[in-house]
A and B are shown apart, each in its own frame.
Chain A
Amino acid sequence: MRGAFPSIPAAGNHQVQPPHPDHAPPTAADHARADVLLDLDAVSITHDGATRATPSSVSATVRRGEVVLLLGASGSGKSTLALALNGLIPQALPARLDGRVLVSGIDTATRSVPQLSRSVSMVFQDPDAQIVTATVLDEVCFGPENLGLPVETVLSRAESALRAVGLWDRREENPDRLSGGGRQRLAIACALALDAPLMVLDEPTANLDPVGITEVYRALREVVADGRHAVVLVEHNLDEVVDLVTRVIVLGTNGSVLHDGPVRDVLAGRAEELLTEGVWLPVSTLAALRLRAAGAAIDPLPLTVGELTAALDRLDELPELPRPAPPSTPPSAADRPGPDDRPGPDDRPLLRVTGLTVRRRVRRRERTLLHDVSLDVHRGDVLAIVGTNGAGKSTLLRAMAGVAPPPPGTVQIGGDDVARLDPRRLARDIGFVFQNPEHQFIRATVADELAHGPLLRGVAEEEVARRVDAMLERFDLTALRDRHPFLLSGGQKRRLSVGTALISSPPILALDEPSFGQDRARAAELMAILDELNAEGTTIVLVSHDLQLVADHASHVAVLQEGRVVAQGRTDEILASTVLDEAGLRRPPLARAFSPLRHHEQWRSLSRLGQLP
Chain B
Amino acid sequence: MSAADRGEQAPRGFLHGLNPLVTLAAPLPAMVGMVVVRDLATPALVAVAAIALILIGARPAPRVAAAIVIGIPVAVLVLGFSFSLWADPAALTASPAIVHIGDWRYTQAAALIGLATGLRVGALVSLALILGTSTTAATLVHAAIQHLRLPYRVGYTALAAFRFVPRFAVELELIRSAHRVRGMAEGRGPIAWLRRGLSAVIPLLAGAIRHAERVALAMDSRGFGASDTRTERTIVPYRRRDTVFVIVVLATTIVLFAVGGAIPF
Contact = CB atoms under 8 A, between A and B. Distances in A.
Interface of A: 86, 88, 92-93, 112-115, 117-118, 121-122, 124, 126, 128-135, 138, 141-151, 154-155, 172-174, 176-177, 190-191, 194, 364, 398, 401-404, 423-424, 426-427, 432, 434, 436, 438-442, 452-453, 456, 486, 500
Interface residues of B, number: 51
Contacts of A129: 211, 214-215, 218
Contact of A132 (B159, B231, B233): B159
A122 B220 CA distance: 10
B205 to A, nearest CB: 10
Nearest to A363: B6
Interface in B218-237: 218-227, 229-233
Contacts of A436: 174, 203, 207
A22 to B, nearest CB: 16
- B138, B181, B203: which has the most chain A beta carbons within 10 Å? B181
Contacts, number: 165
Interface in B137-193: 138, 156, 159-160, 163, 166-167, 171, 174-175, 177-186
Nearest to B180: A423
A122 B224 CA distance: 13
A-B pairs with lowest CB-CB distance, top 7: A174-B7, A129-B214, A146-B223, A114-B226, A117-B223, A143-B222, A440-B178
B202 interface: yes
B122 to A, nearest CB: 23
Given A132-B156, A439-B203, A144 B185 contact: no
- B4, B203, B225: which has the most chain A beta carbons within 10 Å? B203
Given A146-B231, A147-B223, A456-B186, 20 more contacts: A88-B217, A92-B216, A112-B226, A113-B220, A117-B226, A121-B221, A124-B221, A129-B214, A132-B215, A134-B4, A135-B7, A146-B226, A147-B227, A151-B231, A194-B223, A364-B63, A403-B178, A423-B182, A432-B181, A456-B183
B199 interface: yes
B203 A148 contact: no
B185 A439 contact: no
Contact of A440 (B156, B179, B214, B217): B179
Contact of B7 (A117, A141, A144, A173): A173
Contacts of A88: 217, 220-221
B220 A114 contact: yes
Contact of B182 (A173, A402, A442): A442
A129 B4 CA distance: 21
B152 to A, nearest CB: 9
B206 interface: yes
Contacts of A118: 223, 226
A124 B206 contact: no
- B163, B183, B216, B225: which has the most chain A beta carbons within 10 Å? B183
A452 B179 CA distance: 12
Contacts of A500: 182
A80 B185 CA distance: 41
A185 to B, nearest CB: 15
Nearest to A141: B233
Interface of B is mostly: helix
Interface of B: 4-7, 63, 136, 138, 156, 159-160, 163, 166-167, 171, 174-175, 177-186, 199, 202-203, 206-207, 211, 214-227, 229-233
A92 B217 contact: yes
Nearest to B203: A438
A423 B5 contact: no
Contacts of B202: 486
A122 B182 contact: no
Contacts of B230: 145-146, 148
Given A131-B163, A439-B175, A442-B199, A423 B183 contact: yes
Contacts of A364: 63
A403 B177 contact: yes
Contact of B233 (A86, A154, A440, A456): A154
B71 to A, nearest CB: 14
A138 B221 contact: no
A442 B233 contact: no
17 contacts: A88-B221, A134-B138, A135-B7, A138-B138, A146-B225, A147-B231, A151-B231, A173-B7, A176-B166, A190-B222, A191-B222, A404-B177, A423-B185, A434-B174, A436-B207, A440-B182, A442-B184
Contacts of A131: 163
A135 B214 CA distance: 20
A442 B203 CA distance: 9
Contacts of A155: 233
Contacts of B182: 423, 427, 440, 442, 452-453, 500
Contact of A194 (B156, B180, B222): B222
Contacts of B199: 442
Contact of A143 (B138, B180, B223): B223
A316 B265 CA distance: 102
Contacts of B5: 134, 174
A93 B42 CA distance: 58
- B211, B214, B217: which has the most chain A beta carbons within 10 Å? B217
A149 B230 CA distance: 8
B40 to A, nearest CB: 34
Nearest to B9: A172
Contacts of B180: 403, 423
